[in-house]
């Protein structure tokens, strides 16, 4: 879910004191403090008789103290240094270095009992102008100047509760009576705590104070500005346009004062407030313009804490406009600035916002990390409201990941600290509760929670939050078969959706899912509605996809599209009498095909543009992540910064219109004409409720349903699917009747982890590979229609084997090396793989990189990228703990361009690979993070996306010796058959005949995936 702009506006840091303008650049000189004053607890006297100068006292934990003057400092200056366990340092800055003499500076400790009367007066004046926090006697000063300074410092330090708790701060309690300035500070504190009702009341009270009639223009402008800002946010909370417009009038008055009196210090917050007004009234473009101005002015004043806040607000607008990549980049910039200023309150809100953006981008682990950071900071600060927001975000992620128990834990932690008046948090809590009970099959509790959430929808000010609530409620209602409730929620949601907005995709998907809940057969009118919903949604999908890069779409968008397709396919399959298997196949494969084609077109145009800085930053981040684990928050924070930097680089200049039409009506009957008599297309379709098999042969298309027992086996296992037999999954009798001897398999979702060739046959003596040649295709359409690739191809073979990686790699920490890299055994037999290639292809040009030469630069070179056959014999990295990080281990030898020791999938995606065949003989090269839309995001899939014709990869870890033997058989057969699929079958059969390697453990992991049929043939 998300944090609205109203929450973010509250974190802007405002001071009552006038902002200082940027100073001229000056030279710095170290000045020695007296030894007795080095650790504070003393007054010091600083004297200087030279030209204009500035003195700065630095400290490791305290803010710097500045003494400056644009004139000759011929008088004495006094300064109090609070006691500290770490030393202070003093620096002099002079705008006239040629005239500066350090000997003109005098610094000495002050003994107050021996001061002259003139000195006593100066010290008293200093005390009034500079509140000394740890000196109790100063708290009793009757001076309003001192009290104002004390409150201002509390505000600057974000000690807001102390301002709002006069009973605990006796020096503050009488402010309203004695000085009349307390209400404005209290209002400011309430504003930062997002209590806009009390903030507005405080600023209104300040306006009525007698001193306001004679107050300087700055104070009048400031109070009117903040009164207007508070009213706009208060009206936004209540959906009260009258209050919003009233707030705008106060802003206009403040604007007139600022312009008339040139109060430029207030300009940034004026533009921020105006941006909020335009945002809540729907003019997002105008709001973005106002924030751009606020950021520019703040940068000119060097107010970087303000810049951080305004960047955060700008990111909110990017999200509202649907530009998630720009939002992610802007949030990251904001967080880095907030870290520099140690603004904990700002960081919590910005972490929540970035986490919500990562949810929309589909990166749930990153979202969970940022929500967790926010929880930790909030607990330290004791801010329950912000803690509840992050806990609800974590519960949302847990439900999305299918972990209802963890979601329940987070919801229980959030419930007691949710602010009763916060409709946003309360509605989110009840919505997630409803989803939790629906998951637990407790319909009555789910309905009760949903009713409470639905009551609060109208009170929500942000349309995006309304959509999230209503869609989640509709999905929960469908899950518990409450059709009428779901219909109400969807109709309510439709009222908020703008034409051609991507939200319509989810709306149509839920609408179709709702039709499937009807007990009676659909009427012709209802069927027409389903068809129209799907056509309209798919048209919108194509429009969105053809204007955004694959980075900006992200897994979340793709998964929503897949859910849309699933709901339509479920509808088609439910109508057995009127729907053919061919129609289902057209729907599934048209979209699946478009994914590979768009990836190839994107990378062929932009792959080389992905900066080297991104490659090395990402690889270093990935290696460090593997070494530190999530318990080391400091190291993890550095990794997150690297991630933010990488994603920012990715987002620049990546928008492209792709000439791929996924709605093209392919003639599937004609595709069967391209099949040979002994071939069968096997298309698996793994839907949320059912799993189906569609088989195409020369005789036509047939659909088979996979039984519940088999489906449960698929969905209850983690990792590679095991323990199933061929006849539980494949129609063996049908294949036998058609004399089929070759299977072209197109997997889906979890079926990507099935080693089909290793499935045992009913006789328990043989395996599928003994009866069928097996090859995988990315889609049915792509198998028969070559996927375009602009990669340049040579005529040589490139072999990368046995990299030397026993010593720590330059650029990788020793800890990383010890925790995973050095645990990998040397691949001494991989050089046998290289030898067998040279032996069987002696007539071809073979380029080899062995041992220390097998480094990252060589692997990423044009010579290897343009090879006709590329063989990579090194460890593949895959860890279920971090499924999103996969890569190849390389030599630790020094490199010039790429990080030594490790090449990640991210790096591989930055260059084309044009080989007809890429062999990845290392472990787990077919494993990766599972995407609902496209299967496993593995090294093999990455090579296909980058232009490879086919990839031979592995589903699990295979011993080094067995792999070398297998590859000798494979290349011997490839040299004679010139067909990778047939050579793979022969190699596996030979391994089975060897008593030592008979078990599928040694040969079943190898899977050949082809982009198109022609790629099976390898000719030199």
Task: Give percent of the chain with pLDDT exceeding 70.
Answer: 71
Report yes or no: 890 and 903 within 8 Å, Cβ to Cβ.
yes
* Nearest Cα to Cα of residue 940 among 899, 965, 907, 905: 905
Residue 715 parent element (H or E):
helix 708-716
Alpha-carbon span 141 to 125, nearest angstrom? 12
Side-chain-side CA neighbours of residue 400 (13 Å): 20
Higher pLDDT, 932 or 74: 932
Alpha-carbon span 238 to 461, nearest angstrom? 7
Alpha-carbon span 431 to 392, nearest angstrom? 10
Measured in residues, the chain has a length of 1020
Angle between helices 581-606 and 550-574 (to 10 degrees): 170
**Residue 293 CA: distances (Å) to CA of 154, 323, 353:** 29, 20, 22
Alpha-carbon span 191 to 200, nearest angstrom? 8
* Mean pLDDT across 366-373: 85
The pLDDT assigned to 111 comes to 66
Q: Which residues pair with 1019 in a beta bridge?
A: none
Would you call 72 helix, strand, or coil by DSSP?
coil
Dihedral, CA of residue 568, residue 569, residue 571 and residue 575, to nearest 10: 140
Residue 246 parent element (H or E):
helix 241-260
pTM reported for the whole predicted model: 0.65
| SS3 annotation, 534-566 | HHHHHHHHHHHHCCCCHHHHHHHHHHHHHHHHH
- What would the pLDDT profile of 680-728 be if each residue is shown by its tens digit? 999 988 887 778 888 989 888 888 888 777 777 776 655 566 678 898 8
Q: What b/e string do you get for 652-667 counting C-beta neighbours within 10 Å, with b at 16 or more?
A: eebebebebebeeebe
- What would the pLDDT profile of 584-632 be if each residue is shown by its tens digit? 887 887 777 776 666 665 555 544 444 344 445 555 555 555 554 444 4
Alpha-carbon span 230 to 244, nearest angstrom? 9
Rg of the chain in Å (alpha carbons): 34
Q: Which residues pair with 743 in a beta bridge?
A: 680, 774
Alpha-carbon span 227 to 40, nearest angstrom? 41
- What would the pLDDT profile of 750-806 be if each residue is shown by its tens digit? 788 889 999 999 998 899 999 999 999 988 888 887 666 655 677 899 999 988 875
The pLDDT assigned to 469 comes to 92
- What would the pLDDT profile of 12-38 be if each residue is shown by its tens digit? 322 222 222 233 345 777 888 888 888
The pLDDT assigned to 10 comes to 33
What are the structure tokens assigned to 4, written together?
Answer: 């609205």
Alpha-carbon span 33 to 44, nearest angstrom? 9
């Amino acid at each position: 879910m998300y944090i609205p702009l109203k929450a973010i506006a509250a974190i802007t840091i405002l001071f009552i004191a006038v902002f200082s303008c940027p100073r001229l650049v000056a030279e710095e000189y170290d000045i020695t403090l007296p030894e007795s004053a080095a650790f504070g607890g003393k007054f010091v006297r600083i004297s200087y008789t030279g030209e204009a100068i500035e003195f700065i006292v630095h400290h490791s934990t305290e803010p710097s103290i500045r003494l400056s003057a644009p004139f000759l400092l011929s008088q004495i200056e006094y300064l109090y240094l609070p006691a500290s366990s770490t030393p202070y340092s003093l620096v002099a800055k002079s705008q006239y270095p040629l005239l500066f003499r350090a000997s003109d500076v005098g610094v000495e400790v002050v003994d107050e009992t021996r001061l002259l009367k003139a000195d006593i007066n100066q010290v008293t004046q200093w005390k009034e102008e500079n509140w000394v926090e740890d000196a109790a006697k100063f708290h009793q000063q009757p001076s309003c100047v001192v009290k104002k300074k004390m409150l201002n410092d509390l505000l600057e330090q974000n000690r807001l509760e102390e301002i709002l708790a006069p009973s605990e701060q006796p020096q503050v309690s009488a402010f309203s009576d004695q000085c009349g300035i307390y209400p404005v500070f209290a209002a400011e504190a309430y504003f930062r705590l997002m209590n806009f009702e009390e903030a507005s009341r405080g600023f209104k009270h300040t306006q009525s104070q007698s001193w306001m009639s004679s107050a300087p223009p700055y104070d009048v402008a400031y109070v009117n500005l903040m009164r207007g800002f508070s009213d706009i946010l208060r009206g936004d909370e209540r959906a009260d346009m009258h209050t919003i417009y009233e707030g705008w009038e106060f802003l206009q008055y403040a604007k007139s004062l600022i312009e008339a009196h040139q109060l430029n210090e207030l300009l940034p917050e004026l533009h921020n407030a105006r941006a909020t007004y335009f945002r809540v009234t729907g003019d997002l473009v105008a709001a973005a313009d106002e924030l751009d101005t606020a950021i520019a002015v703040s940068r000119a004043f060097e107010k970087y804490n303000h810049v951080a806040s305004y960047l955060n607000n700008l990111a909110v607008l990017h999200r509202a406009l649907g530009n998630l990549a720009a939002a992610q980049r802007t949030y990251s910039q904001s967080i880095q600035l907030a870290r520099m200023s140690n603004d904990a309150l700002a960081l919590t809100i910005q972490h929540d916002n970035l986490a919500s953006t990562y949810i929309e981008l589909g990166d749930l682990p990153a979202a969970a990390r940022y929500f967790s950071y926010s929880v930790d900071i909030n607990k330290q600060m004791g801010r329950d409201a912000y803690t509840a927001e992050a806990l609800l975000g974590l519960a949302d992620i847990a439900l999305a990941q299918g972990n209802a128990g963890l979601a329940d834990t987070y919801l229980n932690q959030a419930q007691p600290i949710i602010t009763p008046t916060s409709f946003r948090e309360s509605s989110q809590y009840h919505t997630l509760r409803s989803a939790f009970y629906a998951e637990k099959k407790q319909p009555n509790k789910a309905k009760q929670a949903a009713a409470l959430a639905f009551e609060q929808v109208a009170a929500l000010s942000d349309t995006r939050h309304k959509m999230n609530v209503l869609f989640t409620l509709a999905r929960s209602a469908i899950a518990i078969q409450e059709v009428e409730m779901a219909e109400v929620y969807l109709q309510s949601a439709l009222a908020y959706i703008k034409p051609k907005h991507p939200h319509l995709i989810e709306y149509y998907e839920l609408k179709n899912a709702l039709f499937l809940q009807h007990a009676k057969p659909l009427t012709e009118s209802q069927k027409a509605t389903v068809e129209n919903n799907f056509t309209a949604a798919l048209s919108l999908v194509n429009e969105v996809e053809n204007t955004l890069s694959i980075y900006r779409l992200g897994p979340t968008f793709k998964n929503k599209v897949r859910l849309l397709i699933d709901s339509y396919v479920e509808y088609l399959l439910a109508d057995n009498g009127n729907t053919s298997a061919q129609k289902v196949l057209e729907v599934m494969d048209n979209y699946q095909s478009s994914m590979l084609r768009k990836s190839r077109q994107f990378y062929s145009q932009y792959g080389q543009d992905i900066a080297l800085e991104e490659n090395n930053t990402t690889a270093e981040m990935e290696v460090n992540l593997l070494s530190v684990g999530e318990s080391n928050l400091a190291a993890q924070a550095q990794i997150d910064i690297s991630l933010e930097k990488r994603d920012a680089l990715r987002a620049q200049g990546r928008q492209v219109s792709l000439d791929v039409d996924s709605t093209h009506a392919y003639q599937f009957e004609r595709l069967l004409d391209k099949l040979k008599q002994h071939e069968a297309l096997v298309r698996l379709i793994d839907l949320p409720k059912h799993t189906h098999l569609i088989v195409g042969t020369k005789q036509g298309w047939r659909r088979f349903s996979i039984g519940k027992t088999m489906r449960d086996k698929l969905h209850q296992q983690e990792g590679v699917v095991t323990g199933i037999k061929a006849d539980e999954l494949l129609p063996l009798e049908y294949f036998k009747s058609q004399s089929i001897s070759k299977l072209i398999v197109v997997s889906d979702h979890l079926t990507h982890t099935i080693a089909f060739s290793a499935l045992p046959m009913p006789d328990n003596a043989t395996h599928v590979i003994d009866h069928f040649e097996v090859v995988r295709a990315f889609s049915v359409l792509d198998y028969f229609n070559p996927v375009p690739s602009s990669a340049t191809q040579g005529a040589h073979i490139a072999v990368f084997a046995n990299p030397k990686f026993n010593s720590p790699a330059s650029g990788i920490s020793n800890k990383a090396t010890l925790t995973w890299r050095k645990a990998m055994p040397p691949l001494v037999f991989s050089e046998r793989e290289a030898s067998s290639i040279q032996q069987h292809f002696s007539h071809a040009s073979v380029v080899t990189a062995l041992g220390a030469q097998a480094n990252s630069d060589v692997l990423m070179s044009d010579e290897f990228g343009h090879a006709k056959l590329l063989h990579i014999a090194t460890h593949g990295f895959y860890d279920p703990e971090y499924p999103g990080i996969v890569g190849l281990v390389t030599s630790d030898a020094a490199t010039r361009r790429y990080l030594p020791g490790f090449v990640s999938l991210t790096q591989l995606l930055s260059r084309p690979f044009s080989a007809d065949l890429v062999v990845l003989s290392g472990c787990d090269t077919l494993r990766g993070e599972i995407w609902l839309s496209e299967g496993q995001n593995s090294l093999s899939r990455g090579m296909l996306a980058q232009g490879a014709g086919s990839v031979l990869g592995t589903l699990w870890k295979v011993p080094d010796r067995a792999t070398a033997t297998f590859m000798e058989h494979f290349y011997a057969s490839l040299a004679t058959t010139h067909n990778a699929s047939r050579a793979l079958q022969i190699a596996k059969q030979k391994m089975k005949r060897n008593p030592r390697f008979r078990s599928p453990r040694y040969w079943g992991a190898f899977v050949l995936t082809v982009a198109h049929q022609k790629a099976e043939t390898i000719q030199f």
